[in-house]
A = this chain, B = another copy of it.
Amino acid sequence: MQNFSYRNPTKIVFGKGTISQLGEETAQYGKKALMVCGGGSIKKNGVYEQAVESLTKAGIEIVEFWGVKPNPTLEHTREGIALAKSEAVDVIVAVGGGSVIDEGKAIAAGAASETDVWKFYIGEVELETAMPLISVLTLAATGTEWNGGTVITNEETGEKFGMIREQLHPKASILDPETTYSVNPYYTTISGVDAMAHLLEPYLTSSDEQIPCQDRMVEGYVRTLMETTEACLATPDDYQSRANLMWAASLAWNGLPFSGIGGFAMCAHLIGHSMSCLYDTAHGASLSLVFPAWLEYDFDLYKQKIAQMGARIFDLDAPSLEEGAAAAIESLRAWFKSVGAPTTFTEAGLPLDAVGPIAENGAHCSPKGGLARFDVKAVTELLEKVAK
């Protein structure tokens, strides 16, 4: 185990009917809120009405800001920041999935400063403070509701960058599993894949090997994500399945599973981000597409841990390390296919000639640290396995 420090001040309010507590949580931070929302699905499933009712009851004045897209954009974020400033709101309330909350965090960062928000993402200016943010989560996926991370896309430069800052932790996040009943099968699946990737990328690539608690957290959460994804596909309005999927996805990326594990590399996320950035591929879909191909590409580097994943998550009993690791990759790919997550370019709706542009972008956006080895040649070689 390596040295680390961990602090997660977000209050999680979990369960049926908890959106009624939104007003009370928000009122602790101000009287006027910018309510950040996506494309309108929350008007269909009743979440919007519940949120507005609770905020209104608590005496909160609401300024609505609609139109956050999956893979939220810098341009729309800047509009939100301008609105937050012109309306002099006290607090940001993000109601939606991971994209809405990520953009909510970006607006919270930009609205509390005179600096252009993108400078925080590219590391040109250090974030000092942010407006308080409350989130209402409607999709079990990214874990952003319980961490200080945010990712947005600069469409002008073709860059999808993230930052993680303590100031961006939501003050409170409300997780009502009933809000996810209306998530369609495809999004249920690829959201589960996203959460699995958050767990498995650090697990497979950690520089430290003596991390039994963290390994067991990951193995237990991934098993839960797989079981509950299947159960939600079978019965979309089963409360317990939706609740456990939502809880496992939140636990996946709250920082605990990777505390103390040393360095790790988010390889699938890196390449997936380039797909989303250039072709608007849904985030989770890019991950199921890249993940098995990446494991094959990096087989020798990570085969020990890949084999452990096979034995402990897929109950494989292989005669050798190599066979165990190979079978583990096949099991993961087969599971992705079984729940409808894409594992080829065609299944993800990507043209086969997208390999080149994605490889260029991925190499360009690689952090200088552990992922620098993913140059254009490496990403091309990796992607060619699944460009079919």
Contact = CB atoms under 8 A, between A and B. Distances in A.
Copies in the complex: 2
Interface stretch (A48-56, A60-68, A221-229): A221-229
Interface stretch (A38-46, A107-115, A239-247): A239-247
22 contacts: A1-B240, A1-B243, A3-B14, A3-B16, A4-B14, A5-B12, A7-B9, A7-B11, A8-B8, A210-B240, A210-B243, A210-B244, A212-B220, A212-B228, A212-B248, A213-B247, A216-B216, A216-B220, A216-B224, A217-B217, A220-B220, A256-B256
B244 A227 contact: no
A248 B210 CA distance: 13
A265 interface: no
A18 interface: yes
A367 interface: no
Interface string A184-215: 00000000000000000000000000111101
A5 B1 contact: no
A11 B5 contact: yes
A162 to B, nearest CB: 23
A300 to B, nearest CB: 25
Contacts of A260: 14-15, 243, 247
Interface residues of A, number: 42
Contact of A7 (B12, B211, B216, B247): B12
A76 to B, nearest CB: 31
A235 interface: no
Closest 10 CB pairs of A and B: A216-B220, A3-B15, A7-B11, A1-B243, A210-B240, A9-B9, A6-B12, A212-B224, A5-B13, A213-B224
Nearest to A239: B1
Contact of A244 (B1, B11, B15): B1
Contacts of A213: 220-221, 224, 244, 247-248, 251
Contacts of A251: 213, 256
Interface in A15-34: 15-18
A73 to B, nearest CB: 32
A1 B247 contact: yes
A168 to B, nearest CB: 16
A10 interface: yes
Interface string A244-264: 100110010000100110000
A2 interface: yes
